[in-house]
Copies of this chain bind each other. A is one copy, B any other.
Amino acid sequence: MNENQILHYALNSFAGIDPAAFELSLPYWQKRQYGKGEFYNEYKNVCKYLGFILDGVFRTYYIDDVTADEKNVFFFSKNQVVVAYKSFVTQTPCNYYTESMTDATVLYIHINHLTQLYQQSHQWERFGRLVAETAFDLAMTRAEDLMFLSPEQRYLDLIQKHPDIFNNVPLYHIASYLGIQAPSLSRIRKRMIGK
């Protein structure tokens, strides 16, 4: 499959975007390559683009004012949307950094063009609603993991449900995502041996 076919396939399975609706959007998608460590969106920047990851992994992180620690909030990987959702929706500055952790390729569309598509097409309006619901689900699941699971359970969950992330990301970034320090993750991994 070429890149447009991959994109159409993903949009169709996600939101039932048919060939005609996809055609509508085609002039608006652009492609960008990211080197490892490049920013998709920076702190204080308004996020103006919704991206679709053809390849690579991104992370969204927060930097604590006081301790200057980085805290990983989300990972985004292949065939997923990457966006600073709240900033994108409200067009306000973002509190996070969103950075590529690997070389990456992204197809992206400007918010103005997306808004245009919303007005032109029911299918795209539906897409907008589904993105909102997906964002809610992502945030809610994150909150639930933190509320209901121990760090150890969160670790096992991540391995099981997101091997693509686990296998492409250094452990200290995993630890930060799980809400613990690197030595704690090492201890958890040691405890697991033989279980």
Residues of A bordering B, CB below 8 Å: 62, 64, 71, 73, 85-86, 89-90, 128-129, 132-133, 135-137, 139-140, 142-144, 146-148, 179
Using A136-B86, A137-B86, A140-B86 as known contacts, say yes or no to A147 and B146 having CB atoms under 8 A apart. Answer: yes
The listed residue (B129, B136, B144) touching A135 by CB distance below 8 A is B136
Report yes or no: B136 in contact with A73, Cβ–Cβ below 8 A.
no
| Identity of the chain B residue whose Cβ is nearest the Cβ of A86 in the assembled complex | B140
A116 to chain B, nearest CB (A): 16
What residues of chain B lie closer than 8 Å to A142, measured between beta carbons? 139, 143, 147
Interchain residue pairs A-B with the least CB separation, the first 9:
A143-B143, A146-B146, A139-B139, A139-B140, A142-B143, A132-B132, A136-B136, A135-B136, A139-B143
Task: Find chain B residues with CB under 8 A from A148 CB.
Answer: 62, 64, 71
* Chain B positions within 8 Å of A140 at CB level: 86, 139, 143
Contacts of A137 in B (CB 8 A): 86
Q: Which residue of B lies closest to A128 (CB)?
A: B129
A86 to B141, CA, bound (A): 11
CB distance from A128 to the nearest CB of B (A): 8
* A71 and B136 contacting across the interface, CB-CB below 8 Å: no
Q: Which residues of B contact A135 (CB under 8 A)?
A: 136
Judging by beta carbons under 8 Å apart, are B86 and A147 in contact?
Answer: no
Docked pose: A175 CA to B179 CA in angstroms: 20
Besides A64-B148, A86-B136, A140-B143, 10 more A-B contacts (Cβ < 8 Å) are A86-B140, A89-B133, A128-B129, A129-B129, A129-B132, A135-B136, A139-B143, A143-B143, A143-B146, A146-B179
